[in-house]
Structure 1
Amino acid sequence: MDQIQETVKLVGGVLGPEVIGTYLHGSSVLGGLRPASDVDVLVVSRRRMDEEERRALLGGLLGISGSPNQARPVELTVVVQSEIRPWRYPPTGDFLYGEWLRAEYEAGEVPKPEPMPDLAPLITMALAGKHPLDGPPLSQVLDPVPHGDLIRAVVAGIPGLLDTLDGDTRNVLLTFARVWTTLATGRITTKDAAADWALARLPPEHRPPLEHARQLYLDCRYSEESWSDELRARVRPHVDRVLAEIDRLRT
């Protein structure tokens, strides 16, 4: 059984008939998984999970996701249909699992319902991908996200990304490139395609950090990231330039 099938089986075993549908999004539907890509899964449920269900789903994901299991990272999001349809901003998510939170999970944290602006681009990708793993087409389950809320959501994540720039440089630079691309084109693309778009518009002196981030994304496993001192010194000027372009498009 492959990892996606394992994830669908786990969700069904925990939530049973409460699952309306399970859907792929992210790189899987935008252009194919890269070596460092997560398996991104959206689950639409009829109701919020109770504590026992949360712990069961978390425990199952810790056992099938990420490098401890010699597997791709799984990012799994659960939403309650009635809390997303009709759409309102910021949307609320019922459960979020991601490998970047593994330390917190292993220390006893359990995902709880919380506002999740990132659901706007997530649902937009899932709707565009048209890839149900289980259940009806997502277009029958959730409504499209208004374009204004999509833009609000991708911009809302900028402060948090800046906080993790030093520790997760590759993904932060690629995400900033994707934010810039989305604001300029109205489309959500893969991280490497967004990097290509941004590189074509950056002056030469600001290209090397993003070129390196793109290459790491295409070539390396999830946990691998290496930066020379010279490249590190160029990261912040690159970010400042990209954020200036994003600010220009926001005004």
Structure 2
Amino acid sequence: MRTSPPVEIARQLSSACEVIERNLAGTLQAIHLFGSAVDGGLKLYSDIDLLVTINGPLAESVQRSLMMDLLSVSAWPGTSEAYRALEVTVIVREEVVPWRYPPMREFQFGEWLREQLGTGIIQSAIPDHDLAILLTTVRQRSVCLVGTPASELFDPVPKESFVKALSDTTAQWNEESDWQGDERNVVLALARIWFSISTGEIAPKDVAASWVLERLPHEYRAVLMVAQAAYLGTVRDDLAGRTKQVASFVCYAKAMIERICASY
């Protein structure tokens, strides 16, 4: 695990932190870098993942200003030499300390929201079970860019909440329309969930995929191998044309995850 940000994203991180600190002056408690930039190394199309913690809910005008300013220091994966895609999750600390499930997410910024933001649509605060996984990740592996280290700022997420979050995430993928156009990410997400529910740890996507491949029946291996290699940038992602194979993998991986969840 890295203890400092990668040099290649230092300028973008500095710009992003400046935007966040300017918009959230007086309420900002911490900014933590996590994900590929810290654990396993940035891949070709990796996002820069930031968790921003504040001390109270934000006015819509502040949210809007922050989101629009973040657009200027982020870019869709592979479209800019200067910027990677930012994924910024904002939480109010009192919504997660003391812990409760599901926790509330104040709002989130990501390149997939660029079109919505352009039309003035701002997402409101919502319960987000994924925060149980995110906070576990941040406590295990993150770099504190501003404020207090995550291990001091947040309580550990209880195991039962972590397991439930993995189960709830798995439950959202039920039919082809749920992963169509996002096959690689869903296949790799299921591999990570299978790894995490089995080991209690969180690993980079390619590492989790290797672990699952060692345990995967032969008929399901091709889909995960393509997803892993495409993530690493060594093959073209053709999973959109493997409709039946992807569906079979999703069905099998879900069944394995649900079986393990039932044992807790």
**TM norm. shorter chain > 0.5:** yes
- After the TM superposition, which residues 81-96 of structure 1 pair with which residues of structure 2 at under 5 Å, given as runs? 81-96=93-108
Match of 1:131 in 2: 143
Residue among 127, 131, 144 paired with 2:156: 144
Which runs of at least 4 in structure 1 moved beyond 4 Å after TM superposition? none
1:73–1:225 Cα change, 3 Å: farther
> In structure 1, which of residues 231, 242, 245 is the aligned counterpart of residue 256 of structure 2?
245
1:232 is aligned to 243
Of 7, 25, 36, the residue aligned with 2:16 is: 7
- Residues 1-251 of structure 1 mapped to structure 2, 5 A cutoff: 2-67=11-76, 70=80, 71-162=83-174, 163-219=177-233, 225-227=237-239, 229=241, 231-251=242-262
Q: Is the 8 A contact 2:34 2:49 kept in 1?
A: yes
Identical columns (%): 35
CA distance in 2, matches of 1:184, 1:139: 23
Cα-to-partner distance string for 1:161-207 (whole Å, 9 max, x where unaligned)? 44531110000000000111111111111111111111111111111
Structure 2: unaligned runs, 5 residues or longer: 1-9
**Count of aligned pairs between the two proteins:** 248
Structure 1-normalised TM-score? 0.92
TM-score by length of 2: 0.88
Is the contact between residue 178 and residue 188 of structure 1 (CA under 8 Å) also seen in structure 2? yes
Letter in 1 for 2:246: V
Q: How much is the aligned-residue C-alpha RMSD, in angstroms?
A: 1.9
Counterpart of 1:16 in 2: which secondary structure? coil
SS of the equivalent of 2:87 reads strand
Decide whether aligned partners of structure 1 residues 38 and 228 sit closer, same or farther in structure 2, where only a CA change above 3 A counts. closer
- Which gives a bigger RCO, structure 1 or 2 (Cα 8 Å, sep 6+)? 1
1:96: how far off?
0.7
CA drift of 1:238 comes to 1.2
Quick one: distance in 1 between partners of 2:95 and 2:18? 24
